[in-house]
Structure 1
């Protein structure tokens, strides 16, 4: 699903009622647990936390006019998605997450490269998302990004 919004609040206001609670709670968990320095905004039509141009002037390699994306979340047609770029770029973080996930959820992990899909709103692992959010600072993400993506 694509929502036209210029702010996260506007994005959430457009959601179906059954998704508002989950998306609002994910936003709250991220806001409370991400290390200082990430900025909240709409990026790629989704609520996102990014590394601003003030902190990383080169921006995102795919489109340098955009800030460096880190974590996004969205209400898609059949699921709520959490997109975490650090999981994609850091094999140790991916291993930690995939090992921890079954300890927090009844259902099997449904995951792409950076996308974790939640099809049942009553089985979103908010505590695990909080732990994941705390694992990487903006400077950690910049270092990993430069090492894995920007220098190639």
Structure 2
């Protein structure tokens, strides 16, 4: 895994509200362990990300009232969202994100499986298909 960093990881975490620092660190460690080979980690002032080239694969952001784990594969492949919703029906989700404040709110095994489910080459192919479909509209 390679990492590019505008700021150190510890500085990103330290800038979060105190009550979000531990959950953010824990969920990002889960992401680091689950992400398939080939994605690159990027640490910026607003997001922690794993990318395929310049495209986000998974990201973590601090929002006004919660942490948000952005899962782009879930947006591209709705079946993944359905699997996650089945694993945790009360989970606060959007089309491609999971919103949380505490680790206890997250189905960790299901999240790790979703993150690990898409090898880099498959993800790049899905992105290209998505771009082609949006251009045809």
TM-score class, shorter-chain normalisation, is: 0.7 to 0.9
Structure 1 unaligned spans of 5+: 53-66, 103-107
Q: CA RMSD in A?
A: 1.9
Cα distance in 2 between the residues matched to 1:150 and 1:36? 26
Cα distance in 2 between the residues matched to 1:8 and 1:51? 20
TM-score by length of 2: 0.83
Q: What residue in structure 2 maps to residue 147 of structure 1?
A: 129
Paired residues for 1:96-135 under 5 Å = 96-102=83-89, 108-135=90-117
What is the Cα deviation at residue 119 of structure 1?
Answer: 3.8
Question: Is the 1:7–1:41 Cα contact (8 Å) retained in structure 2?
Answer: no
Residue deviations 1:37-94, cap 9 Å, x none?
1111135821000012xxxxxxxxxxxxxx1111101222211111011111112222
Cα distance in 2 between the residues matched to 1:10 and 1:24? 12
Q: Which has the higher helix share?
A: 2
Structure 2 unaligned spans of 5+: 1-5
Question: Is the 1:79–1:120 Cα contact (8 Å) retained in structure 2?
Answer: no
What stretches of structure 1 move > 6 A for 4+ residues in a row?
none
Q: What residue in structure 2 maps to residue 137 of structure 1?
A: 119
Q: Which has the higher strand share?
A: 2
TM-score by length of 1: 0.75
Q: SS state of the match for residue 38, structure 2?
A: coil
